[in-house]
Amino acid sequence: MSTSPAAPATDGAPQRHEHVLVVGEALIDVVHRADGSVDEHPGGSLANVALTLGRLGRDARLATWVAPDAHGDAIRAWLDDSAVTLTPGSTGAGSTSVATAHLDAQGAASYEFDLEWRVPAGTAPGTGTLAVHTGSIAAVLEPGASDVRALVAAARDTATITYDPNARPALMGDPADARARIETLVALADVVKVSDEDLAWLVPGTDPVAVARDWLALGPALVVVTYGGEGALALTAAGEQRVTAPRVEVVDTVGAGDSFMGALLDGLWDAGLLGADRRDALRAVDTATLTRLLERCAAVAAVTVSRAGANPPRRTELTTA
């Protein structure tokens, strides 16, 4: 498997041959805003990550669980517009899942869910799969969660494993139980991205950095803690690196963490750090590379929060592209 960064195409975007396999939910977000307005649009944490990768010019393949209904059609059209490919079997659901988001006056979202999650039969890394990414609902909601864990464990032989817990308290039950399930996947991952809010829910009253250090000790090469508008902190065996976030006017935070995660995968790809045979290089990532990577992730997330819904930027919108 080649692990060098993709060569640029004639329009400045990377060529689309090697790919990231994203495994998890795609759904319809029904958003209730503080001003009383309501709108619907496609979303889902893992779909948002795949969408971000597609908009950054990467070959992203999403293994998900939607139906051949109106909502499923809307999701497929949305993903197709950003060149995201659905893997075979992803349209086998009886109905497409729905998440209802309630935004407060600051644009922060809380969620309620009506969904079913399964991994499409036959989902597995293939030739050219540099990384497998999963997280959020897909990694904890049965019957799909057990299949996700098995897939991730098997994929470590050939691909980088990346994981974002993206906690959903309405679905994940007791935080202590959720933490046990989450840390099983942390131990299998090479890269973990987690928000300070997730850690505050999972381990209340504990410094998020202390939890992140514990997670790093479980096996990942890189753990990144995001702090919303305050930036992010990366932890590796060599030390810790903090970056600030650009100051923007926040419209809402929907999809911000997912776009950060997509940009993180894109940056690791650019740096030639994806693929199982690049695991040692990932562990040895230097400070300058890590700082540059995180600053771009924060810039991508800043664009996302500056406009409504999970609407990450395209590569051409980024001055550093």
11 has pLDDT over 70: no
Pairing of strands 19-23, 129-135: parallel
321 has pLDDT over 80: no
Indicate the burial class of 103 (C-beta count within 10 angstroms; 0-12, 13-18, 19 or more).
buried
The band of 4, judged by pLDDT with boundaries at 50, 70 and 90, is very low
pLDDT of residue 27: 94
Q: For 207-225, how does the pLDDT look when each residue is reduced to its tens digit (9 = 90+)?
A: 999 999 999 999 999 999 9
Q: Which uninterrupted H or E stretch holds 208? A: helix 208-217
2 has pLDDT over 50: no
Q: For 88-124, how does the pLDDT look when each residue is reduced to its tens digit (9 = 90+)?
A: 999 999 999 998 878 887 777 777 888 899 999 999 9
pLDDT of residue 10: 35
**31, 38 in Cβ contact below 8 A?**
yes
The band of 35, judged by pLDDT with boundaries at 50, 70 and 90, is confident
As given in the structure block, the two tokens for residue 182 are 């989450």
Torsion 1-236-232-253 (CA) sign: positive
pLDDT of residue 289: 95
Exposure string for 173-207, b = 16+ CB within 10 A, e = fewer: eebeebbebbbebbebbbbbbbbbbbbbbbbeeee
Strands (E), the chain: 19-23, 27-32, 38-43, 60-63, 85-86, 98-103, 109-114, 129-135, 160-164, 191-195, 222-226, 232-236, 239-243
The band of 318, judged by pLDDT with boundaries at 50, 70 and 90, is confident
Regarding predicted confidence, which is higher, 41 or 151? 151
Q: How far apart are CA 101 and CA 99, in angstroms?
A: 6
**Cα-Cα end-to-end distance for the chain:** 25
Q: Which CATH architecture has domain 19-314?
A: 3-Layer(aba) Sandwich (3.40)
Q: Where are the domains of the chain?
A: 19-314
**187, 218 in Cβ contact below 8 A?**
yes
Q: For 61-88, how does the pLDDT look when each residue is reduced to its tens digit (9 = 90+)?
A: 999 999 999 999 999 999 999 999 999 9
Distance from chain centroid for Cα 301: 12
Mean pLDDT, the chain, whole residue set: 90
**31, 309 in Cβ contact below 8 A?**
yes
Q: For 129-171, how does the pLDDT look when each residue is reduced to its tens digit (9 = 90+)?
A: 999 999 999 999 999 999 999 999 999 999 999 999 999 888 8
The band of 32, judged by pLDDT with boundaries at 50, 70 and 90, is confident
Torsion 165-170-173-176 (CA) sign: positive
DSSP-assigned letter for residue 315 = G
Amino acid 3 reads T
DSSP state letters, 70-122: HHHHHHHHHHHHTTPEEPTTTT--SS--EEEEEE-TT--EEEEEE----PPTT
pLDDT of residue 255: 81
**For the residues 162-191, what does the mean pLDDT come to?**
94
**For the residues 45-61, what does the mean pLDDT come to?**
97
The band of 5, judged by pLDDT with boundaries at 50, 70 and 90, is very low
Q: For 230-270, how does the pLDDT look when each residue is reduced to its tens digit (9 = 90+)?
A: 999 999 999 999 999 888 888 777 789 999 999 999 999 99
pLDDT of residue 166: 94
